[in-house]
Amino acid sequence: MKKVALFLVLVIVTSVSFSQKLSLEDVWQKYSFYPSTVSGIRSMNDGLFYTTQVGNKIVKYSYKTGKEIETIFDLSQVKGNNIPNAFTNYEFSSDEKKLIITNDVEPIYRHSFTANFYVYDLQTKQIIKIYDKKIQLANFSPLADKVAFVYKNNLYYQDLVKKQTIKVTTDGEWNKIINAAPDWVYEEEFSFSKAFEWSPDGKNIAYIRFDESKVKEFDMTYYGTLYPKEYKFKYPKAGETNSTVEVHIYNIETKKNIKVDIGEETDQYISRIKWTKNDNILSFIRLNRLQNKFELLLADSKTGKSNVIYTEEDKRYIELYDDLTFLDDGKNFIISSEKDGFKHLYLYSLQTGKLINQITKGNFDIDEFLGYDKKTNLVYFTSTENSPLERQLYSIKKDGTNKKQLTTKKGTHNIDFSKSFKYYIDFYSNANTPNFITLNTNKGKEIRVLQDNKRVVDLMKSYNFVKKEFFKFKTSEGVELNGWMIKPANFANSKKYPVYMYLYGGPGSQEVKDSWDYNAVWHQLLAQKGYLVVCVDNRGTGGRGAEFKKLTYGQLGKYESKDQIEAAKYIGKLAYADEKRISIQGWSYGGYMSTLCLEKGADVFKTAIAVAPVTNWRFYDSIYTERYMGLPQANADGYDDNSPINHTEKIKGSLLLMHGMADDNVHFQNSAELITNLIKNDVQFDLMVYPNKNHGIYGGNTRYYLFTKLLNFLEENL
């Protein structure tokens, strides 16, 4: 389960009138405060130049100066038949002589999609469509002479030289066998869509095969025709049967398909495959069903034989991170782990599997491992060392010495390095400042401002945005929690204001950060309407080490709801807060939490708004739920004790329940079962459902309509 962003990725920003009052139209129809960005950044091989997508062009810039050098590709100048009218993404071949461009994307689930893919030769100026149907995951071979892709659950590749299309697998079948792309639960919870990888020499393709024939189907109904359409897909709920997976290696020259030895256990996860620097050695990550044992294995591409090179176990669970990096020397690898209580980086021998040294240490979490520069022997990463609320950039020697902080502005730095590690682009923001994007040297020196978002900053000033303030408080158990608040416009200590609490609260998530997001505009609207807007990160959230995060294991909702109730009580005691008018709102995991808080905190919360909530973890998917709860067969009380379905009789306040009826993630079943128990216990509530809408509940006028309903509910009930 991932946090649902309450904005659309692609919006058209229109101008607004310079009045001092925000409107819902400004926030959720015009998206007037949506910041600009620099999109489609690709570092070129030499590390001296980078490209970005500007409309239907690919433009080359200098890292050294930040200035535009040339237009590499302009779709409007391409001649020939069957040319797309636009493209949404691009990928260079390894030699940077060809491009793959993507057009007419159709989403499948959160990460996956089908599209039309084209190869454009930058030298000959010729363009070809890779396949005559929409396909998935088109990807160049390392030699740029072939493109692999997935069509109807089978793996193919096109030989660009021989102009032949080769079908690698033949058994792909909807809701049964998937080759080279993940099933629903792998895609959602292991966060990837491409389940194949070219070997470094381009002679082999490794891929994962999913047999989901024994996984139970889930049905959704799509409306809009005389007879509604039924959509069925495989969705393993907690404790139910998962896909059986295999790893295969297909040799391009011999046409042989080698099955890799992944062990005798079939009820397990192969969460990643990745080639080492050796053309013949594939690595893969194996997790047991409970996800508390992590193994890195190496497999021989010629025989399929494998051996375990690294093992880690935890009494609760192990998070999956994409930090595994094989060094160019072919001898060592870097991996991250929380085994000392915080997420840190470690250097291991690839030959012996033994620890060489721990690279980073301390009571802070590594947020993102950005890479290793072999020329300078430096590892780059961002971390929470300054504060759990911040993300700063650091460098450190591979042996763990000479650590340096490279960014200095208080807030959050998201970093995109050049391939040479000589430069980086910094996507910086803080709680009150939208993206400020700069080009920098690897020493932290600013070369050029790429995007200052002055338009948004000026709009925020003209609309009198209130500063977000951070605070801390201690619970009755002595636990210090972080929070932020936005005070009402024209704030006066002598007044008492209704409180709107916003939360997510799920494992490893973080809402209380010194960074900007579009939700801030919605919260400013509430502040202008006289609400005190508050957010607190409960136990179980991220940025504060493994113990703080993993405390909730086996009993999701117990400690989180306790912390949110105490937070509401703390806020209610402030001189300017009306303790009798406190509302709580959340989406997804936050919807689960807001419902549970209205029940367990019946004397504290006057209203709750739950959007797309989980209402019983038995209804949610296997990978996410079992990672944090174990199996329901072994932890029945953990699943049931904090299920909102089982506490409806405690509700005293007003509840607004909202859900998309085509939610493939948190199924509408969750709300339906909650409704059954609300009726059973004669609890009146408000309900808003959205036909044909998924977990994000967006498209057309939907988001504006949703927040209109939400705001009206607040004004009528709080």
Residue 275 to residue 284: CA distance in whole angstroms: 8
Residue 667 lies in a domain: yes
Query: Per the domain annotation, does 179 fall within a domain?
Result: no
Alpha-carbon gap, residue 588 to 620, rounded angstroms: 11
The CA–CA distances, whole Å, from 599 to 275, 282, 587, 643, 647 equal 50, 51, 17, 10, 6
Q: Which residue has the tokens 């997510």?
A: 504
Contact between 664 and 109 under an 8 Å Cβ cutoff? The reply is yes
Alpha helix ranges (H) inside 175-291: 184-189
Q: Identify which of 549, 529, 530, 531 has the alpha carbon closest to the alpha carbon of residue 539.
A: 549
* Per-residue tokens: 501: 């609490």
CA-wise closest residue to 179 among 152, 147, 219? 152
Letter string b/e over residues 170-197, b meaning 16 or more CB atoms within 10 A of that residue's CB = eebeeeebbbbbbbbbbbbbbebbbbbb
Would 581 be classed as within a structural domain? yes
Q: Which amino acid is at 433?
A: T
> What pLDDT is attached to residue 81?
81
313's CB contacts (< 8 A; 6+ apart) are 292, 293, 294
Show the low-confidence residues of the chain (pLDDT under 70).
Answer: 2-19
Which tens digits make up the pLDDT trace of 628-674? 999 999 999 999 999 999 999 999 999 999 999 999 999 999 999 99
| The pLDDT of residue 18 | 42
Res 462: pLDDT: 95
Which pair of tokens denotes residue 31?
């998206």
Report helix, strand or coil for 246. strand
Q: How many residues does the chain have?
A: 718
- Alpha-carbon span 143 to 160, nearest angstrom: 11
Q: Which domain holds residue 541?
A: 24-33+457-717
User: What DSSP character marks residue 252?
Assistant: T
From CA 92, how far away is CA 41, in angstroms rounded? 12
Instruction: Collect all residues with Cβ–Cβ distance below 8 Å to 679 and sequence separation of at least 6.
Output: none
Query: Do 133 and 151 meet the contact criterion of CB atoms below 8 Å apart?
Result: yes
In angstroms, the CA 610 to CA 586 distance is 6
Q: What residues act catalytically? A: 588, 663, 695
Asked whether residue 394 is domain-assigned, the answer is no
Q: What is the amino acid identity at position 491?
A: F
Residue 592 forms part of a structural domain: yes
Does a structural domain hold residue 314?
no
**pTM given for the model:** 0.95
User: For the domain that residue 476 is a member of, what is the CATH number?
Assistant: 3.40.50.1820
The answer to whether residue 293 is domain-embedded is: no
Angle at 286 between CA 280 and CA 291, to 5 degrees: 165
- How many domains does one find in the chain? 1
Cα-based torsion angle of the residue sequence 174, 175, 181, 183 in order, rounded to the nearest 10 degrees: 160
Cα 181 from Cα 617, distance rounded (Å): 26
What CA–CA distance (Å, rounded) separates 678 from 235? 27
List of E strands, 418-545: 423-430, 433-441, 446-451, 469-474, 480-486, 497-503, 532-537
Q: Are 326 and 337 in contact (CB under 8 A)?
A: no
Q: List the beta bridge partners of residue 221.
A: 230
Cα torsion through 493, 495, 501, 502, rounded to 10: -70
DSSP E strands in 252-398: the ranges are: 257-259, 268-275, 281-288, 293-300, 306-313, 325-326, 332-337, 344-349, 355-358, 366-373, 378-383, 392-397
Q: Would 405 be classed as within a structural domain?
A: no
Task: Give the list of residues 6+ apart from residue 103 with CB closer than 8 angstroms, or none.
Answer: 84, 85, 86, 87, 88, 115, 116, 117, 118
Tell me how far apart the alpha carbons of residues 184 and 3 are, in angstroms, rounded to a whole number. 17
What is the pLDDT, as a whole number, of residue 2?
64
What is the distance between the alpha carbons of residues 290 and 550, in angstroms, rounded to a whole number?
A: 14
Cβ count near 457 (within 10 Å): 17
Q: Please answer whether residues 231 and 221 qualify as being in contact, where contact means their C-beta atoms are separated by less than 8 angstroms.
A: yes
